[in-house]
Amino acid sequence: MASEPETGETTAAPNPKRLEIVGLGSGGLNGITLAAQKSLKSAEAVYGYGLYLEQARPHIKKARLHQSGMTAELKRAEAALDSAWGGLRTVVVSGGDAGVYAMAGAVFEMAAAKGLPLGRGPGCLRIKVIPGAPALVAAAALLGAPLTHDFCAISLSDRLTPWELIERRLALAAQADFVIALYNPRSKGRDWQLGRAAEILRGELPPARPTGVVSRAGRAGQEVTLTTLAGLTETPVDMQTLIIIGNQSTFVYHNYMITPRGYLNKYGDDLV
Amino acid sequence: MASEPETGETTAAPNPKRLEIVGLGSGGLNGITLAAQKSLKSAEAVYGYGLYLEQARPHIKKARLHQSGMTAELKRAEAALDSAWGGLRTVVVSGGDAGVYAMAGAVFEMAAAKGLPLGRGPGCLRIKVIPGAPALVAAAALLGAPLTHDFCAISLSDRLTPWELIERRLALAAQADFVIALYNPRSKGRDWQLGRAAEILRGELPPARPTGVVSRAGRAGQEVTLTTLAGLTETPVDMQTLIIIGNQSTFVYHNYMITPRGYLNKYGDDLV
C-alpha cells in the first residue's frame, strides 16, 4: 500500500484537469498564504460561501465566482468538480484550513461518490489541497499559547454525528488531559449542546480550569474572553465561536492562557 | 475574569515594546502569510532555529538575525524577551504555527518565569502571536482530507512528558474514535516509542485502519506514504515525520485518505 499520493509538488503535471481546495487562513485578511494567492490568481472558476469569496476577491484576476450558501457543501463540491472535469482551472475556497471540518472533505467525498478518476495520469482529475491556519490556531494565538501540548478538536454539531458519540469524546478527552478545542458550540436550532457539554466536562475537570472563548478572530466583532470552565456557560457564544479548555498544567498570566511544553522540569532543561 | 487579552488588533498600541511570535506556515516557502511577511519586514531583531531563519530571510529587511539550536528553546525565548524589553522590535520565528508544540509556549513560560509585565499599558511588553498552518494540516493536505472530523494531536516525545501519560492518551484517543495525529514519532535517542505506540493503537483499532505518513511536507525530501495501522512500523519515519491515523469512517479512494464529515446520511443532506 506504500505509495505517494498524486498531490505532491515534486514533478510537473501534464494533466490539464485541476481542482485546488484553498484555505484562506484565519485571523483576518492578512492570514492568506502566498500559495493561496497564487492559486486564486490563476483560477478560472472559484466556488465558495459568500463570506469567503469576498475574502478571496482581491486576489482573483480572471475567475468567474460561484457563490453558494453555507450549508450547501455537497452541491458546491459537485459543481466545482464538474467545472474542473470540464477543463476549467477551478478553485474551492474555505475559511481557515480547507481540511479541518471544511470543504476538502466534501470535495473528496463527492469525487468518490461520483467515481471520478483522481490522480496525475491522462484522463484523471488532479486535486490539490492548499493549507491555511485553522480557526483553532487563530483562537489560540489571541489567547496566548494554550496549544503547546497535546490537544483535540471536537465539534458540538450533532447534525451529522450522534450526540452520544460527542458526549463520549468529551469525557474521554477530559480523562486524557488533552487541551480541548470545541468547534460549532451553538447555532440556530442547536442551543442546548454547549450546556450539556460543559456539564460533562465539569464532571471530569475542576471548575477553575482556564477556558478561552474567541469569536470572529481577526474579523469585525472579534471577542476574546478568558474565563474558567465554571464561567463558560455564562460567556456569550454563537456560530462563529471557538472555545479552548486548558489541560491540568494550563495557567493564566497577565490575561494570557499558557500551556507549558512539558510536565517535567518545568523551567529546567531544553530537551525536545 | 471576562476580559480581552492585549493581543487583539482593535486599537493602536502606544507602547513601543513589542515581541511578535510568527509561524512561517507549513508546506514549503509559499506557506507564509501576509501577516507574517509584514511582521518580518518591520522587525529589528529576529530569533530562531537556523532552518526557520533561512525560510524567513527573504522577507527580512533590516533585522539582525539571532540563530540558535533546535533544542535551545528557553534560552532563545529569554534572549528574544530581553531584546524586546530593551526596546527592539523583536520577532521569534517558528515553523508551522508558533503555538502548536512550538515557540509561543516557551516565550510565555519564560515571560511568566521572569515576572515580566505583559499587556498594552505603559511599561508593559506587548506579545502578539501570528498564526500559520501547523504541520498537522500540511500533512493532511498531502494525504487528501483526513481531518474533516474530530481529531487529536499527540507528541510521542517523552523528554518532558511521562511515557505513561502518552500511553494513556493513545488508548483513550483510540477509544474516542478521534483521527489521531502523531508528532515527534522518532528522534536520535528515541527509537522505541513509535513501536510501543503502534502496539497500543493496534490493541484498540483494526489493523487495516488507513494511516498516512508524511515527512518534510513541501520541503526537499518530501515523502508521502499511505499505509495501514499494521504497516505503520514498516514505514520509514524520522524526526520530521507526522503520522495521521484515520477514524472508523476514514476510507481510501484513489490513493487519497478521506474522513467523511459525519456518521449520519453519508451522502444525504447538507446540514452543518
ipTM of the complex in this document:
0.92
Average pLDDT over residues A128-138: 97
- pLDDT > 90? residue A28: no
Percent of chain A at pLDDT > 90 equals 83
Using CB atoms, pick whichever of B137, B157, B223 lies closest to residue A99.
B137
| Gap between the Cα atoms of A227 and B3, Å rounded | 8
| Gap between the Cα atoms of B17 and B83, Å rounded | 9
Task: Give start and end residues of each alpha helix (H) in chain B.
Answer: 34-42, 50-56, 73-85, 103-114, 135-143, 163-175, 193-204
Average pLDDT over residues B13-21: 80
| Gap between the Cα atoms of B79 and B66, Å rounded | 9
Q: Which amino acid is at A109?
A: E
Q: What three-state secondary structure class fits B259?
A: coil
Contact check, Cβ <8 Å, B118/A5: no
Question: What values do phi and psi take at A109, rounded to 5?
Answer: -60, -45
pLDDT band for A272, please (50, 70, 90 cuts). Answer: very low
pLDDT of the residue at B147: 98
Higher-pLDDT residue of B263 and A268 is: B263
pLDDT band for B244, please (50, 70, 90 cuts). Answer: very high
Higher-pLDDT residue of B73 and B43 is: B43
Strand (E) or helix (H) holding A64: strand A64-68
Q: How far is CA B41 from CA B26, B52, B80, B87, in A?
A: 20, 15, 17, 17
Mind listing the pLDDT tens digit for each residue in B115-143?
999 998 889 999 999 999 999 999 999 99
Q: Residue A2: left if φ>0, alpha if ψ -120 to 50, beta else—which one?
A: beta
Contact check, Cβ <8 Å, B263/A160: yes
Mind listing the pLDDT tens digit for each residue in B178-235?
999 999 999 988 999 999 999 999 999 999 999 999 999 999 999 999 999 999 999 9
Contact check, Cβ <8 Å, B105/A38: no
pLDDT band for A210, please (50, 70, 90 cuts). Answer: very high
Q: Which amino acid is at A16?
A: P
pLDDT of the residue at A4: 43
Question: What values do phi and psi take at B268, rounded to 5?
Answer: -85, -100
- Residue with cell string 506587548: B126
pLDDT of the residue at B6: 44
- pLDDT > 70? residue A2: no
Q: What three-state secondary structure class fits B26?
A: coil
Sign of CA dihedral A241, A100, A258, B53: negative
How many other C-beta atoms lie within 10 A of the C-beta of residue A221?
8
- pLDDT > 50? residue B20: yes
DSSP string spanning B148-171? SS-EEEEE---SSS-HHHHHHHHH
Sign of CA dihedral B238, B244, B248, B254: negative
B265-268: long-range pairs with CB below 8 Å, 24+: B265/A160, B266/A109, B267/A74, B267/A109, B267/A113
Contact check, Cβ <8 Å, A108/B184: no
Choose the weakest-confidence range: A26-40, A67-81, A215-229.
A67-81
> Residue A227 pairs with which residues in a beta bridge?
A211
Task: Cell numbers for B154, please give them.
Answer: 499527540
Q: B184: closest CA among B227, B223, B240?
A: B240
Binding-face residues of B in 129-188 toward A, CB within 8 A: 129-134, 137-138, 140-155, 157, 159-162, 165, 168-169, 172-173, 175-178, 184, 187
Query: What are the b/e assignments for B162-195, b being 16+ CB within 10 Å?
Result: eeebbbebbebbbebbbbbbbbbbbbeebeebbe
Domains with residue ranges and CATH for chain B: 18-133 (3.40.1010.10), 136-258 (3.30.950.10)
| Gap between the Cα atoms of A132 and A94, Å rounded | 9
